[in-house]
Amino acid sequence: LPVIVANSAIVSRHCKIGSGTIIMHQAFVNANSIIGENCIVNSKALVEHDCIIGNNCHISTGTKINGNVSIGNNCFVGSNSSFVNGITISENVFLGINSLVSKSIKEQGMFVGNPIRKIK
């Protein structure tokens, strides 16, 4: 499958984007980041330097993922969520809208809030 990058997106030439992934309008993917296969980096999302996004992930509109963050496979990140530098998110995690992710999440499940808490 092709990689699709909107004309208004900014994607560093020093990152890797997996097949079937789409980078939407005004999204920004910085140097040394890796975006897996079949992902969506939606409009105005920011993926900073040295991040790893697994396969089959949706990074929703306006999300800010700071440097050195690792997100596992099959994750959904709700709009306007923010991530502190250097944390790790397990596979199969759902993060609700406006979540503040300030600590690593080591188990699958649904998390929401500011600060983030597990609900399911």
Instruction: Tell me the catalytic residues.
Output: 49
- Sheet containing 34-35, strands listed edge to edge, beginning at the edge strand earlier in sequence: 16-17, 34-35, 52-53, 70-71, 88-89
Q: In angstroms, how far apart are the furthest CA atoms of the chain?
A: 39
Count how many Cα atoms sit within 13 Å of the Cα of residue 1 in the half-sphere of its side chain: 13
